[in-house]
Amino acid sequence: MLLPPLFRRFDSSLGMLVALTLMSAVWTPQVQAQYGVSPSQTGMFFDDLRSRQKAEAAASKSGARDGDVVYDYESGLYRSSGESMGQRSTDYESSREISRPAVRSGSAAFAARTAGDYTNYAGQYTSPTGFFAPTYISDPFLNGRRNLRLGPVNIGFGLYQGVEYNDNVNRSGTDPIDDIITSTLLNIDMNYQVTQNNRLSLTTAIGFDNYWNHPEMSPYGSGNFVLNVLPGSTLAFDIKAGPVFITIYDRISVRPAVRNDFALTRNQVFGVFQNDAGIAANWRINSAWTLAVNLMHSDAMALQDQPQNIPGVGRGRGADNQDSFSRTTDSIHTSLSFSPTGTWATGFEGGVTDLKYKNEFNPDGLLTNAGVFLALPMAKNTYARFAAGWQNFEFDDIAYKTYGPPGAARPLTSGDNTDLDDFYYSATFSNQLNSRVSHSLSFGRESALNVTSNFVTADFVNYGVSFIAWKGSRISLSSYVEQAEMSGGVYAQETLQYGLDLHLSHRITSKLTGGIGYHYGRTDAERMGNSIGPAAKAAGDLGSYANAGLFDQHAWNFDLTYALSNKANLVFGYRYYLTNMLSGPGNFNDQDFTQNRFILGFNYNF
């Protein structure tokens, strides 16, 4: 059951229900973090819900543009896309994808504030897709998805088949292992209009990888069959009941996740299955007020056949067993927006999440947040959004425990008994300078669940600019800075990250498109001075657990896409990663590595 676990933790459920009705969100994304915990991700859900239920868009959107535009190849200029305020920008996606960790990416450029998010890839930038949309599009260089109709069912789907040679799958500087990896992915978007007001829909990107020579190198699974169900894969039933629009959904993903103690070894990546089941509703109260509520139950399960075998200790426990990161959350969140003229919007946002872990490494907790927002156009081509509020995380107390013989003791629990009572804020500015140039700036402070500690608090800044330099081109530049601090425990660190991504794409002919990009990122991680207490020190030297260090990463990519027909295209890609460990524990130079990836792919859209 969803509600009882939540309200058993409150002395007065009535007071909480009253408070919830006074909260809302209209959001433009700035940071990726887990739903139900971070106000930004929760706000994105309601933004996606409003976009999904277009019938009530007039009450929840102002009609002002946020600077998004569409490139017209024939004229070489940007044209207004006509999208309403709150729609996510795609101008910077190409460059930002260079640093976003993917299924087999060698990149370590993930944000510390997003490592505990199992709902999407933990990249430095906002996900280019929404809560209900998979992260893969089968025809990125063609103009839209092709559709079939089977009786009353509308279907659009595409097939991707790829083969990759990777010369350093294990990302090792001393003993690299190469492999050939094949990937098959089917992208499906289908719906059935049950009645005039009710629709059943399915959207997913599902497939598998095969590691041909070294199946043991796969992040999870047998290696001969590594299942991928990309985030956003959803079965949903949309209902219109008078002024209320309801979505009942079940969202599934199976993909790699990352740990965030900044070690560069491959065991920092593990598979995770997540299922989000819920019901969400938008109620257009009148022409000015809109109330949205979402109830969601989420199960996240780490996928690992066997815990790591630690010499002198045995099979892993605590953080050495990734199953320690499996968890369940029950959430209720709400969004109340006020837009009397349709040109600006303000309101309240917030909610509560009950958190339970499968094992005892991290403690269970109750997570709440509440705040206000303001979204408005500042000029003809400028959009701004501000939000601020308070977050409160209360965790159960856990004792610090270890296992194993003296001198080789390992943490069985994180030893983190830190609660959170802190503010959050965010600001976004999006501007279209002219028909060729657009840019955006976002910054803020927010706390989110962590993997090896209770939570992580981060201050961040993102900036991106995209422009047409000549006909057929697009140049995108994105940059980021993040200062993050884990709450405590034996693995706790402070990290400073900054970097940039540059991408140039050019439509060489009507059928051939090329792209080249570069990423630079620096991560400086330091173990927090008070993170290891007397009990931990007495158990042995635990300093090596926090893999603090300073490292740089450079990444280059090159892509060519050729349209064989209006339904098929061929893709060639090359990726090169160079990671330099500048300082760290032990023989840190052994963690330097390079990686070359050659990718050949084929897309077909039915």
Residue whose pair of structure tokens reads 């996240």 in the numeric block: 300
Helices marked H in 72-221: 93-96
Domain membership of residue 279 (yes or no) is: no
For the chain, residues with pLDDT lower than 70 are 1-33, 54-93, 97, 100-106, 108, 121-122, 126-129, 137-147, 259-268, 304-320, 406-408, 529-547, 585-588
Q: Which residues contact 509 (CB under 8 A, 6 or more apart)?
A: none
pLDDT score at 396: 95
pLDDT score at 320: 66
Q: Are strands 473-486 and 345-357 parallel, antiparallel or unpaired?
A: unpaired
H/E run at residue 41:
helix 39-52
Its domain, for residue 403, covers 3-239+246-272+284-605
- 3-state SS class at 444: strand
Burial 461-485 (b: 16+ CB within 10 A, else e): bbbbbbbbeeebebbbbbbbebbbb
Contact 254, 228 (CB under 8 A): yes
CA dihedral 448, 426, 70, 566 (to 10 degrees): 0
Please give the structure tokens belonging to residue 460: 């961040």
pLDDT score at 82: 38
Domain membership of residue 529 (yes or no) is: yes
H/E run at residue 60:
helix 57-60
pLDDT score at 50: 75
Provide the 10 A C-beta neighbour count for residue 245: 23
Alpha carbon 448 to its chain centroid, in Å, reads: 12
How far, in Å, are 194, 325, 453, 573, 574 from residue 359 at the CA level? 43, 8, 14, 41, 41
Contact 477, 500 (CB under 8 A): yes
Alpha carbon 43 to its chain centroid, in Å, reads: 14
Whole-number Å distance between alpha carbons of 355 and 387: 25
Domain membership of residue 278 (yes or no) is: no
Contact 275, 250 (CB under 8 A): yes
pTM, full prediction? 0.83
pLDDT score at 274: 93
Domain membership of residue 277 (yes or no) is: no
Contact 432, 438 (CB under 8 A): yes
Whole-number Å distance between alpha carbons of 583 and 579: 12
Name the DSSP letter for residue 58.
H
Report which of 238, 161, 255, 162 is spatially closest to residue 204, judged by C-alpha positions.
255
| Number of independent structural domains in the chain | 1
pLDDT score at 289: 92
Contact 549, 514 (CB under 8 A): no
How far, in Å, are 25, 175, 374, 426, 443 from residue 385 at the CA level? 11, 49, 6, 8, 11
Contact 601, 573 (CB under 8 A): yes
